[in-house]
């Protein structure tokens, strides 16, 4: 049986390191998606997530146990924004995503995935930060509109509209044209 976040937070507050480890594993992908939506660099997003979990552990007593996910995503988002502000002072070219790690899959497939990832990030880069967050949380992480709204402080209808606009903008940037049926 899967323990609720609320129970895990209470156990972690009491010093149970395993409970916090479960929370980390449970929310790692989502935290990464939120960080990536802001910083747009995979290695920076990983750093933000690590810093955010350390901060969350240090401040766990200030968390409402039943709102852990939303509380954590606010920490991640704020840390990512802070990193972006610091990085604006010194800009450099990002390192290539292919960092010499070998894959068990076909190298051609890895190359295709790397190209697709690059195209998607390029298409998402001009989006407003909030649109990137909503798009990644919904389409990559599978969050529901209501959950996104709670985590980001938005109404559910606003989340839906933001997602619609983000998807439309990415499709346009990737060269997909909306096909409409013409009436005879």
Q: What pLDDT, on the 0 to 100 scale, is given for residue 107?
A: 63
How much is the average pLDDT of 169-184?
A: 65
pLDDT tens track for 84-139: 887 765 443 333 334 444 445 566 676 777 777 788 888 888 999 999 999 888 88
Q: What pLDDT, on the 0 to 100 scale, is given for residue 140?
A: 78
> What tokens were used for 133?
């967050």
* Domain span including residue 38: 1-89
H runs (alpha helix) in the chain: 5-13, 17-39, 42-58, 68-89, 107-124, 129-135, 145-152, 156-174
The answer to whether residue 55 scores a pLDDT higher than 90 is yes
> What tokens were used for 149?
């709204």
- Is 101 inside any structural domain? no
- Is 21 inside any structural domain? yes
More confident residue, 151 or 91: 151
Q: What pLDDT, on the 0 to 100 scale, is given for residue 116?
A: 76
* 120 and 177 fall within a common domain: yes
Which residues contact residue 5 at a Cβ distance below 8 angstroms, ignoring those fewer than 6 apart? Answer: 23, 26, 65, 66, 68, 69
pTM of the model: 0.63
- Is 78 inside any structural domain? yes
Q: What pLDDT, on the 0 to 100 scale, is given for residue 121?
A: 82
Phi-psi category of residue 144: left, alpha or beta, with phi > 0 → left and psi -120 to 50 → alpha:
beta
- Is 13 inside any structural domain? yes
Cα–Cα distances in Å, from 171 out to 52, 121, 126, 162? Answer: 32, 12, 13, 14
Q: Work out the pLDDT band at 65, boundaries 50, 70, 90.
A: very high
- Is 102 inside any structural domain? no
Q: What pLDDT, on the 0 to 100 scale, is given for residue 106?
A: 61
DSSP-based three-state secondary structure for 173:
helix
How much is the average pLDDT of 159-180?
A: 80
Lowest mean pLDDT among 51-55, 66-70, 149-153: 149-153
* 31 and 65 fall within a common domain: yes
* 75 and 5 fall within a common domain: yes
* Whole-angstrom distance, CA of residue 71 vs CA of residue 62: 9
Closest among 23, 25, 33 to 140, alpha carbons compared = 33
Q: What pLDDT, on the 0 to 100 scale, is given for residue 101?
A: 44
Q: What pLDDT, on the 0 to 100 scale, is given for residue 182?
A: 43
* 75 and 138 fall within a common domain: no
Q: What pLDDT, on the 0 to 100 scale, is given for residue 23?
A: 96
């Amino acid at each position: 049986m899967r323990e609720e976040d609320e129970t895990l937070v209470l156990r972690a507050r009491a010093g149970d390191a395993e409970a916090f480890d479960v929370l980390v594993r449970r929310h790692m992908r989502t935290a990464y998606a939120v960080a990536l939506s802001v910083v747009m660099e995979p290695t920076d997003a990983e750093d933000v997530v690590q810093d955010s979990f350390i901060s969350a552990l240090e401040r766990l007593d200030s968390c409402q146990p039943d709102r852990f996910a939303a509380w954590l995503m606010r920490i991640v988002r704020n840390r990512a924004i802070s990193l972006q502000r610091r990085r604006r002072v010194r800009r450099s070219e990002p390192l290539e995503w292919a960092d010499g790690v070998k894959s068990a899959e076909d190298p051609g497939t890895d190359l295709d995935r790397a190209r697709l990832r690059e195209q998607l990030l390029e298409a998402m880069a001009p989006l407003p930060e909030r649109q990137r967050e909503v798009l990644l949380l919904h389409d990559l992480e599978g969050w529901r509109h209501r959950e996104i709204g709670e985590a980001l402080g938005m109404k559910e209808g606003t989340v839906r509209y933001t997602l619609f606009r983000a998807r439309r903008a990415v499709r346009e940037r990737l060269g997909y044209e909306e096909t409409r049926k013409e009436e005879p």
